[in-house]
Amino acid sequence: MSDPATESQRAAAPAAVTESAARSTEPESLEARLADYAPETYHDFSDPDTKARMEAAIDEVESQLGREYPNRIGGDDVRLEEKQRSTNPADPEQVVGVFPRGDEAHADRAVEAADEAFHAWRDVPAVDRADFLFRAADIMRRRRLELAAWMVWEVGKAWAEADADVAEAIDFCDYYARLMMHYAYDPYPLAEYPPEEDEVVYLPLGPGAIIPPWNFPLAITTGMTVAAIVAGNPVVLKPAGEAMTIAWKLVEVMDEAGLPAGVLNFVTGPGTVVGRRMVEHPLVRFVSFTGSKQVGLEIVERAAVRQPGQMWIKRVIAEMGGKDAIIVDADADLDEAVEGVAVSAFGYQGQKCSACSRAIVDEAIYDEFLRRLVQRAGRIEPGKVTEGAWMGPVVSKSQFDKVTEYIEIGKNEGALVLGSKADDSEGWFIQPTIFAGVDPRARIAQEEIFGPVLAVIEAKDYDDALAIANDTEYGLTGGVYTTDPEKIERAKREFHVGNLYINRKCTGALVGVHPFGGFQMSGTDSKAGGKDYLLFFLQPKSIARKKD
């Protein structure tokens, strides 16, 4: 594990452009600039050497559990007497990290530090800002298994899920660095007007609030943070309470990359106190949030209220929940469909906004599909991910209580055909649970559960399946298994989701490949990992100069 940067390194002016960043400015188009980008490949833990290295990383991280970490405000480490802790969901008595319990005053100081840093950071050339992201990506590559191991301990991610999380964080850094140089250096297409020289330039907004979730605690946290930073906006990052330690590791990475003081501020504390103050602070220009519908809507409402001294309308990037469905048509390859539904529903314990929580199956194959699905999911047994289990615990007691409550609701809304066993004697473990014969308007078919609970719904035909799939307030991800080209085209037109997957699982979006974001109550459809995302953190300025 690398040592954090010194105080003088954190406060240093941006370094000269490195060779890697300079190379990436040579192409003249976005297409050329992205041509040398490719998502990171994943580790194969069936390889004995890779498995041994991951085991060593888990052991090394275990030796560091329970340490105390500071907050970071304007380059200064801040420690408080009042603490809060993140714990291992497989053993809640085991403390992973200890952090300050900040309050409104700390949120104010952090926002003010970000505002002060903005006056210098906004003038740093985009290529230099991008270079910090390239450096961060390289540091994450070097620390990849260690960072994955932190997520295994802190949020119960299986090895492959944790590894993919780090890979996505790396991808966000590499992709957004290239994308920023497109907005900074590629000419904005304008109609010619001979009497003038005309141009459009993109400017940063100012200080921003970053409020990420716990389920992708490095990937989403990194993506939200570095997108704002590379666009020229200093930020205050308030991590989820369940995932504070891995969020602090991002601060370490950016320290090592040499990011100047005040550009990334880090404050832990209750969301209802610290997060709310960040949202309402008059100096904050934008709020970037990923989490539940309830909290997202509250943020939208609070951010819409102009505060004394506030001179702008705050932008809100809110990525919220989903009630994602996979349609299995009568002509589908059942083996592929069963595997896709099982992995989408129960990967990372169903704790993904993209997880499949509804399987909508044509009546002609319903019984056979259900039989195979129960057989496949029945082989999944929750266990300790530190020891290599594919499925671990849900993240917290509150999550455990919520999911088990929905299981009880489901027993009155469908036929329990698998699972429902929950064990909190050592950790927050819940078996994969499947309900069959569920009415499309049942609560377990309409409300986001965010756990390993799947509702299987019978459809009369493809028309009925599409109608059921769209009959929800959400619109994040969806999938269709069919071999009929006409039905595929209909799904493209009629399945109302932000991310549609054909004959594959409905989770696992790749940066630069599957821009991610949903419709309706799934959020503002920001399309993270796509070419439009940075526009949320920039404002275009049109400049016209009369020719002599």
Mean pLDDT of 88-108: 98
- Model confidence at 98: pLDDT above 80: yes
**Domains in the chain with CATH codes:** 42-320+527-542 (3.40.605.10), 324-510 (3.40.309.10)
Confidence of residue 28 (pLDDT cuts 50, 70, 90): low
CA 283, 286, 292, 294 dihedral sign is: positive
- Model confidence at 12: pLDDT above 70: no
Top-ranked range on mean pLDDT: pick from 18-27, 32-41, 109-118 = 109-118
Mean pLDDT of 434-461: 98
The pLDDT assigned to 33 comes to 75
Confidence of residue 35 (pLDDT cuts 50, 70, 90): confident
- Model confidence at 24: pLDDT above 80: no
The pLDDT assigned to 31 comes to 78
Mean pLDDT of 262-278: 98
The pLDDT assigned to 105 comes to 98
Q: Is 395 helix (H, G, I), strand (E, B) or coil?
A: coil
Mean pLDDT of 122-145: 97
Cα–chain-centroid distance for residue 8? 32
- Model confidence at 10: pLDDT above 90: no
Per the annotation, the verdict on 356 as an active-site residue is no
Asked if residue 350 lies in contact with residue 357, where contact means CB atoms within 8 angstroms, the answer is yes
What values do phi and psi take at 220, rounded to 5?
A: -70, -40
Q: What amino acid is encoded at 393 in this protein?
A: P
> What is the rounded end-to-end Cα distance, in angstroms, of the chain?
60
The pLDDT assigned to 111 comes to 98
In 3D space, the residue among 155, 45, 174 whose CA is nearest the CA of residue 96 turns out to be 155
In 3D space, the residue among 177, 187, 162, 466 whose CA is nearest the CA of residue 327 turns out to be 466
Average pLDDT over the chain, rounded to whole? Answer: 94
Mean pLDDT of 129-152: 98
Confidence of residue 255 (pLDDT cuts 50, 70, 90): very high
- Model confidence at 17: pLDDT above 80: no
Report the range of poorest mean pLDDT among 36-40, 169-173, 223-227. 36-40
pLDDT (tens digit per residue) in 180-233: 999 999 999 999 999 999 999 999 999 999 999 999 999 999 999 999 999 999
The total of other beta-carbon atoms located within 10 Å of residue 489's CB is: 10
In 3D space, the residue among 377, 313, 370 whose CA is nearest the CA of residue 343 turns out to be 377
- Catalytic, out of 146, 168, 173, 353: 353
pLDDT (tens digit per residue) in 350-402: 999 999 999 999 999 999 999 999 999 999 999 999 999 999 999 999 999 99
Mean pLDDT of 103-131: 97
- Model confidence at 455: pLDDT above 80: yes
Q: What amino acid is encoded at 481 in this protein?
A: Y
Mean pLDDT of 521-527: 97
The pLDDT assigned to 18 comes to 35
* Strand partners for 436: 415
- Model confidence at 16: pLDDT above 80: no
What radius of gyration, in Å, describes the C-alpha atoms of the chain? 24
- Catalytic, out of 242, 256, 280, 319: 319
Mean pLDDT of 139-148: 98
% of the chain at pLDDT higher than 90? 93
Strand ranges inside 3-126, DSSP E? 67-68, 71-73, 76-78, 83-88, 91-100
Confidence of residue 349 (pLDDT cuts 50, 70, 90): very high
Mean pLDDT of 507-521: 98
Question: What phi-psi label fits residue 508: left (phi over 0), alpha (psi between -120 and 50 degrees) or beta?
Answer: left
Q: What is the DSSP string of 370-394?
A: HHHHHHHHTT-----GGGT-SS---
Mean pLDDT of 268-280: 97
Mean pLDDT of 302-323: 97
- Model confidence at 26: pLDDT above 80: no
- Model confidence at 29: pLDDT above 80: no
The pLDDT assigned to 27 comes to 46
Per the annotation, the verdict on 173 as an active-site residue is no
Q: What is the DSSP string of 413-424?
A: TSEEEE---EE-
% of the chain at pLDDT higher than 70? 95
pTM for this model (two decimals): 0.94
The pLDDT assigned to 25 comes to 42
Query: Which two structure tokens, joined as six digits, stand for 298?
Result: 């509250």
